[in-house]
Amino acid sequence: MKLARILNSKSILVFLSLAFSVTEPSSAYAYTDCTGIMKRFYVGTNGELYASLATGMAVFMVPTSNGDRIALTAVNAMTTGRQVTVRVAADGATCTGSHTDWIGIWLEGSP
């Protein structure tokens, strides 16, 4: 009897876990990637990061634990002329105008 009760409890937990994962909104993992040449980059005295791409996109990021790595990638892109892909948190964002939700940067291959 106890074994049947444990199995039923585990079955219910597995079912609920699967049901939640299927019904969880996909927008929780949404983002937008925008690619272009880094034209300007600035690191402020408080660690804030500002950058602009040739596409007209401008991004701002408050100081974070990975800000140094993002800054290093942006400087590398500027000195080598390589394109970057900037990731912003909003799903379906435009790749022009200002964004304050910069969450990452890719350094693309050879120019």
Greater confidence (86 vs 18) lies with 86
Average pLDDT over residues 4-22: 48
To the question of domain 29-107 being in CATH 3.40.50.720, the answer is: no
Q: Is the pLDDT of residue 7 over 80?
A: no
- pLDDT of the residue at 60: 85
pLDDT one-digit tens code per residue, 28-60: 678 999 999 999 988 888 888 888 999 999 988
Q: DSSP string spanning 50-81?
A: EEEETTSEEEEE---TTHHHHHHHHHHHHHHT
Any idea where the domains of the chain sit in the sequence? 29-107
Token couple for 70: 């993002």
Q: Is the pLDDT of residue 22 over 50?
A: no
pLDDT one-digit tens code per residue, 69-80: 878 888 889 889
Greater confidence (104 vs 37) lies with 37
Q: Is the pLDDT of residue 9 over 60?
A: no
Banded pLDDT at 97 (limits 50, 70, 90): very high
CB contact at 8 A, 47 and 105: no
Alpha-helical regions (H) of the chain: 2-23, 67-80
Alpha-carbon 35 to chain mean position: 13
